[in-house]
Structure 1
């Protein structure tokens, strides 16, 4: 089976290319080893009428990457508009932040249709398409419109919210109906899968049996299988990278600058879903309540800016910067800064070394699909003297890494106590917790995730039968002229 993987952006995986976990870091190693073709945006935009031309196609290990210039006329409404001002806040249960115009929705549909046409270049009888994430909820339906009958699967890297939250998204019904064109839909957690099945069963009134949704598109009855595929990492490979990174110049400079003090680390995109404000408030409270920790532990917070054209992100950036300045002003000394706050990304080689330097990893999102930073932090630790992971109960990773100190990110007092506990945890307990988490990471790697989904997609086919008389197709997208979830470990 020739596999075509589709995402909004692709990465070449250079060692110094900034990365903070997430989709790109996950897909890179499996594309390199599997021979898949990874298709996505080049990051460049084109003006005026255009064909679906690929700007670049190049080898990536045993696979390849193909990059497409997207139409400038629709990209803003697609990306900063509907995808990240309507879908992203809803998927992270922030219905108060949903903002989108009808024009944004039309642009979202146009980009999905544009990508579908471009993918036909890679279609043959043995092709399967695997679509990644919320940018392309409608891509499967667009491929079906073009006559694609080969397997098409979809994996959602974010959470899927409760029914009442999803119903706050404009055109939510049309989008979910479009998703049912996929043969297989994968989620990070059982809760996400169950939320989706509850929506299609109750809001769309469709039949759901054994995690299969039966739906009708025109005169065709088809089934979509829904299942849980928690994403992993290559823990051993990341551990080796962390060992090598100890001698990296940036890592060496960090170690020398600590002068024996302990370090906590947070690595996130600058996003309201990551819980940065509550995290900083927790450190502030810890230093206020336990002044003995002043000058004995600092926080390295890497917060990579993103989506700067969206008001909610600009407001967050200003709020976090103000808060960091306030905490440093009250607790800092002329020769000591409590929070080292960096608004830039680092390559995986450097990040692995930074994780290994830190006695505490703080991963406290308010809501997250999985959060691979949590897994990378654990994998990077020195087995003889491991650090402690403080992990939000609302990250998908908490379902697997239950040997972490699991916290409620809305409970600032509880987080402050957990961080202090992590700093004073005895070596024997740290080793036990680390061993348990590493065993879990090694039992389900990124390659197991990839093979599990691809195997399920290979077996999944939409079971079709002609329905007479044919009923009108549901209005999935505008015309351009106008049960218990299965778990795969």
Structure 2
């Protein structure tokens, strides 16, 4: 089924009603959905719940209101390492609570730097050359998952548990083994790879079998869901029918939930940026020297394709000198991992080379920022940019693409240049965004030139179609949709597996 039609169908029951009755800070339908379940949310990190700090990704934007308004518990790492005690630091946030856990020092490096981010992360993004396997990493990954499951067991009397992302693929199996019999859902924020890629992950069959302990598995796109289905067939010999697979633990439903943003909030932030110009934006615009502004906002991660983007800009400037200035915001990511330190150095070297080749004493074609900006600041920067560059090698969704669209001036919008391997490309088609192969700088360069010279009428048409989709399925619709689907699992009786499914 086409994901655009799927998103509209799902949204019809939510946002067409909620857009008319939406409260300023919280969607009522989300509150009602969350209150049906006395929910526990588990992720590697939890939100800071600080309105003055930028929210790093969609998870915080989606789950903060669930916690604050419905009484949910959000559990995750404190960011500190401990001796293995399972004492939870619990803080109240509105009607809900945040529970932080010091992960054990003994296994943390193998779990986080090792298996999660040096094996699973590159594998899930289909980058086998970036994988760095070690025999003890998988053991540490399992030990941390067991540790978190043991700590979460104290919340076993709650109605349901919602686990997030690749750090905790086997967590549901650990909870089930402890005797938790409440519905347990899982959402993967990254892509899911094809079978040939997945088989390069150590213990991949065991990992996939453990995932079938979840009652509900959520994926970003139809592409991810298809790949998971193919992996079930190829690696476990299991068939996926009508959205359900029957494994050793019973029925597991698998669905797509394409994560969204709050487009109205981004639009408000962008409009307010005009009324109260940010000093940084004002200075930046003066530096353009008649060039058009392009913007890229990413973590300094090798999956984001920042290096290929800069090579593309080099080509544009060679053909059209001083035509484009790129503001590249690249916040530091996982500096303790060698591959990330190397990538950071390589990107910085490329920036210097392009600036040296094409810049003048008073003008630089790349403005390179490694510090984060608030969402309000980003909204103003997005609106100022004629071109939004979102060119990851592969991505689960990439919310920057949606944020850039939401922040545009409806009467004079910019153009989104989007990797066809980002999940957002399953939402925005070629008649809306300019889709490119992120591994080919010449394609990106051609799209940059096309975007810079696109007539206003076409820009408005493309933007309007994308904005309609953003308003039809917001971050709050995504949360409510998953919670309501997980709620259905309360009445699902786990099947007794046949012996053939255990082989």
Please, what TM-score do these two structures have when normalized by structure 1?
0.90
Whether 1:362 aligns to 2:395 is no
Correspondence 1:54-203 to 2 at 5 A: 54-59=88-93, 61-124=94-157, 126-203=158-235
Q: Secondary structure at the match of 1:42?
A: strand
| Larger helix share, 1 or 2 | 2
Residue 235 of structure 1 aligns with which residue?
A: 263
CA apart distance, 1:149: 0.4
Decide which of 452, 473, 480 is 1:444's aligned counterpart. Answer: 473
Give the Cα separation in 2 of the matches to 1:201 and 1:156.
19
Residue 484 of structure 1 aligns with which residue?
A: none
Q: Secondary structure at the match of 1:120?
A: helix
Number of aligned residue pairs: give it. Answer: 462
Structure 1 pair 104/131, CA: closer, same or farther in 2 (3 Å)?
Answer: same
Give the Cα separation in 2 of the matches to 1:297 and 1:30.
42
The range that moved more, 30-39 or 315-324, is: 30-39
Give the Cα separation in 2 of the matches to 1:191 and 1:149.
31
Correspondence 1:90-489 to 2 at 5 A: 90-124=123-157, 126-217=158-249, 222-246=250-274, 247=276, 248-291=278-321, 294=322, 296-402=323-429, 403-460=432-489, 463-466=493-496
CA apart distance, 1:115: 1.1
Give the Cα separation in 2 of the matches to 1:314 and 1:80.
13
Whether 1:3 aligns to 2:39 is yes
Structure 1 pair 371/466, CA: closer, same or farther in 2 (3 Å)?
Answer: closer
Structure 1 pair 102/336, CA: closer, same or farther in 2 (3 Å)?
Answer: same
CA apart distance, 1:68: 1.5
Unaligned runs of 5+ in 2: 1-36
Give the Cα separation in 2 of the matches to 1:175 and 1:427.
50
The range that moved more, 182-191 or 302-311, is: 302-311
Conserved 8 A contact 2:91-2:98: yes
Compute the RMSD of aligned alpha carbons: 2.0
Give the Cα separation in 2 of the matches to 1:384 and 1:232.
23
Residue 481 of structure 1 aligns with which residue?
A: none
Q: Secondary structure at the match of 1:83?
A: helix
Structure 1 pair 384/467, CA: closer, same or farther in 2 (3 Å)?
Answer: closer
Conserved 8 A contact 1:9-1:43: yes
Give the Cα separation in 2 of the matches to 1:409 and 1:465.
44
CA apart distance, 1:287: 0.6
Structure 1 pair 288/466, CA: closer, same or farther in 2 (3 Å)?
Answer: closer
Give the Cα separation in 2 of the matches to 1:355 and 1:35.
35
CA apart distance, 1:255: 3.3
Residue 73 of structure 2 aligns with which residue?
A: 37
Residue 22 of structure 2 aligns with which residue?
A: none
Question: What whole-Å deviation, never above 9, does each CA across 1:241-283 have from its counterpart, x for those lacking one?
Answer: 2222342333333334435542100000111111111100110
Please, what TM-score do these two structures have when normalized by structure 2?
0.88
Question: What whole-Å deviation, never above 9, does each CA across 1:326-366 have from its counterpart, x for those lacking one?
Answer: 10000000000110111221222221221111111100011
CA apart distance, 1:108: 0.8
Conserved 8 A contact 2:246-2:495: no
CA apart distance, 1:211: 2.1
Conserved 8 A contact 2:40-2:155: yes
